[in-house]
């Protein structure tokens, strides 16, 4: 969703991923109504609002209250054209109904984490240092990452690491988690990192990413039910688009990308615009290393 190296109105570091490409495919225009389902700090939203001057509107959804509060500040210059709502994007239809909006000209989902979440140091999204094992996007949700680590069975943990993290060492990691939590319940990220590092033999450590990366991904997906929410919006979101409206999704790992690719290809109401995913150019990756894994897929609502 974002990365270091740029600032918007509030001064908070923020770099919208694939911004030029999003604007090209979403094609914001005056009078249009658009939805940013993962508002974050509002980087994509601000650009869409600028392109749809003077009367285009954008509804921004985010279930992270801290990010939403910052986004409201960053988008304040657009006045009533920017409508910020605390909600999961899976509830987009309900939100738009409540606003009296019957159809939109474009939907954007940026499925990445914001810099506020990664660098905030409070919720365990990053394994740099020691942070609470929380990982909830919405602090109203009942279960934290620590809850899952301390309560799930070894088999359930292994399945979670394997299916949500695509972690090949899921079984030994799950076994080590169960053994370690008997001695001391999991509370912080550095505890989990230490467990994963000891569970995976050095020869199986990946070269390009940290050995705990996939475990952290799996936990975050499970805590926030990310794949369930994505499946829901990929089906319901299409009905919210006006004919000719564009559905743009930026994903950051293969599980999400496969879901988006399949949903776009199989939905008879859509015409796929990007046969292959659009990737960031090398210059963007150098400026914002977090963009390297981003993939943009776009489909257009037909008249049918």
Phi, psi for residue 215 in degrees, rounded to 5: -65, -45
Residue ranges, comma separated, of all CATH 3.40.50.150 domains in the chain are 19-116+226-301
Shortest CA distance to 219 belongs to which of 247, 191, 238? 191
Shortest CA distance to 21 belongs to which of 286, 259, 283, 289? 283
Q: What is the pLDDT of residue 115?
A: 57
Q: What is the pLDDT of residue 14?
A: 62
Say which residues have a Cβ less than 8 Å from residue 95's Cβ, sequence separation at least 6: 59, 61, 85, 87
Residue ranges, comma separated, of all CATH 1.10.150.170 domains in the chain are 121-224
Count of positions (residues) in the chain: 304
Name the superfamily (CATH) of residues 121-224.
Putative methyltransferase TM0872, insert domain (1.10.150.170)
Coil, helix or strand at residue 94: helix
For residues 83 and 57, the answer to whether their CB atoms sit within 8 Å is: yes
CA dist 212 and 255 (Å) reads: 18
For residues 154 and 205, the answer to whether their CB atoms sit within 8 Å is: no
Cβ neighbours of 40 (radius 10 Å): 28
CA dist 153 and 222 (Å) reads: 14
Fold of 19-116+226-301: Rossmann fold (3.40.50)
Coil, helix or strand at residue 17: coil
- Tell me the mean pLDDT per 10 residues along the chain, length 304: 38 75 97 96 96 97 92 96 96 97 96 65 76 91 95 98 96 98 96 96 90 95 96 96 97 95 97 96 90 95 82
Residue 270: its H or E element: strand 270-272
Phi, psi for residue 41 in degrees, rounded to 5: -95, 5
For residues 165 and 250, the answer to whether their CB atoms sit within 8 Å is: no
Structure tokens belonging to residue 29: 């225009």
Residue 104: its H or E element: strand 104-110
pTM over 0.75: yes
- Strands across the sheet with 241-251, in order? 82-86, 57-62, 33-36, 104-110, 241-251, 295-301, 270-272
Helices (H) and strands (E) in the chain, counts: 13, 7
Q: What is the pLDDT of residue 7?
A: 36
E runs forming strands in 10-103: 33-36, 57-62, 82-86
């Amino acid at each position: 969703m974002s990365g270091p190296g740029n600032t918007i109105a509030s001064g908070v570091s923020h770099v919208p991923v694939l911004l030029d490409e999003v604007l090209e495919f979403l094609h914001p225009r005056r009078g249009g109504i658009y939805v940013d389902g993962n508002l974050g700090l509002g980087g994509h939203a601000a650009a869409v609002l600028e392109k749809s001057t003077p009367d285009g509107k954008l509804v921004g959804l985010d279930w992270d209250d801290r990010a939403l509060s910052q986004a409201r500040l960053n988008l304040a210059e657009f006045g009533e054209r920017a409508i910020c709502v605390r909600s999961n994007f899976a509830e987009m239809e309900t939100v738009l109904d409540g606003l009296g909006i019957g159809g939109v000209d474009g939907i954007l989902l940026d499925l990445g984490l914001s810099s506020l979440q990664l660098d905030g140091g409070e919720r365990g999204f990053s394994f740099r240092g020691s942070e609470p094992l929380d990982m909830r996007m919405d602090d109203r949700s009942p279960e934290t990452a620590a809850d899952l680590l301390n309560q799930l069975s070894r088999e359930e943990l292994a399945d979670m690491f394997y299916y949500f993290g695509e972690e090949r060492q899921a079984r030994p990691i799950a076994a080590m988690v169960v053994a370690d939590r008997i001695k001391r319940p999991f509370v912080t990220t550095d505890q989990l990192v230490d467990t994963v590092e000891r569970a995976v033999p050095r020869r199986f450590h990946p070269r390009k990413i940290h050995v705990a990366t996939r475990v952290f991904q799996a936990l975050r997906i499970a805590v926030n039910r990310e794949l369930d929410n994505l499946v829901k919006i990929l089906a319901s979101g299409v009905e919210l688009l006006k004919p000719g409206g564009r559905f743009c999704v930026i994903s950051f790992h293969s599980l999400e990308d496969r879901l988006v690719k399949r949903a776009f290809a199989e939905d008879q109401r859509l015409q796929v615009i990007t046969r292959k995913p659009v990737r960031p150019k090398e210059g963007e990756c150098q400026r914002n290393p977090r963009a390297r894994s981003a993939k943009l897929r776009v489909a257009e609502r037909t008249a049918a």
